[in-house]
Amino acid sequence: MAENELSSSSSSTAGGGGSLERKHAAMIERLSNRHHSRLSVKPDPNSATSSESTQSFLSQFSQSKISIESQISAIRQNPNPTRKPELESISLEIAALEKLIAESSYFLPPYEVRTCLAGAANLKQSLDDVTSIVIPKKKFTFKNKAPKKAPTIPAQNDAISLDTDKTLITGLGNNYGFRDLNAAPGFRNREKELLVKEFNRSECEDHIGEFTLSDLRDCEVRLKGCLRALFINNLVNCKVYVGVITGSVLIEGAEGCVFVLASHQIRIHNVENCDFYLRSRSRPIIEDCNGVRFAPYCLSYEGIDKDLTEANLCEETGNWMNVDDFLWLRAVQSPNWSVLPENERIEMVNI
């Protein structure tokens, strides 16, 4: 058809150069419109082409999944520290598989997307399990040996009320249990208080520094030193400043809060309208969140540089802005999070 239009345009030369140019421009416009119309047509998920694409994807996904499972099984049967590079390679393969799911989600049926995401999550859990076998962490164990001296709670571990009508100082007690999460030390059920604790270096080295923040409202929390893990649950209008976490942070439920955290892993669930100032060795993960914003870590206290170095968190990785939304399946960025504008960020916080 384009050739006929060109021929027709050529035969009209006698009508004048202006007429020829107008017809040529009109022809180009029609061809361009047809091209853009073809590009704008979305694939029909019920079409034969889409079905073939789905089958091709499922075949590729199944082969990759079987290959990864086989590699994990082989490492599980013969675990030793020399296999650490294999673990890193498997981690990259799983990441590539997740990317493939995201890129293919536009033509896949919703059920297949959910099933494949669940399969990828199971692979990651299996990898985490075998990693803990190959590279076990030093665990805290109770000893029958009596302590050299009775434990004491330093002044900075006390909770100080922020209520302007009274100055109430309450001790936290010294019965720190590590048998389960509920018995782990932490700040719970507080309102309008300044909550401060400092973790000494031996706690960090012995991997006993688990801590919990739960059911806090209008509080400011300052945790200095090294923690192994931090669990956060149900915080409202709080400011949380934390030094170094050598393991993971798990946040379940928060609203209107500011978090300043440095950790190897950070997982955020059911959070609304909160700002996060992070340094992380891995990409932060959000689920069921909205209105969350991210910026780089901005905490300071005496000795923090040494703590960050010993925890392998001294370098800025840029992961604070590489956020994964596990419930956002499209290839474009999730609307549930954003980078915090520089003119709205807080200054360096010195605790």
Residue 253 or residue 83, greater confidence: 253
pLDDT digits (tens, 9 = 90+) for 158-188: 443 343 333 322 233 333 333 345 656 899 9
pLDDT digits (tens, 9 = 90+) for 56-102: 888 888 898 999 998 998 888 888 888 888 888 898 899 888 888 87
pLDDT digits (tens, 9 = 90+) for 288-301: 999 999 999 999 99
What one-character DSSP code corresponds to residue 344?
A: G
Residue among 347, 280, 288, 338 nearest 313 (CA): 280
pLDDT at 251: 95
Beta strands 349-350 and 299-300 are: parallel
Residue among 225, 221, 200, 285 nearest 250 (CA): 285
**In this structure, what are the phi and psi dihedrals at residue 348, rounded to the nearest 5 degrees?**
-55, 130
pLDDT at 103: 74
**Confidence band, pLDDT 50/70/90 cuts, at residue 337:** very high
Helix 17-40 to helix 2-11 angle (10° resolution) is: 170
Q: CA 324 to CA 29: how far, in whole Å? A: 42
Residue 114 or residue 4, greater confidence: 114
Average pLDDT estimate for 216-245: 94
Q: CA 302 to CA 225: how far, in whole Å? A: 9
Structure tokens at 37: 């119309």
Q: CA 19 to CA 320: how far, in whole Å? A: 60
Q: CA 19 to CA 23: how far, in whole Å? A: 6
Average pLDDT estimate for 214-222: 95
What type of residue is 42?
Answer: K
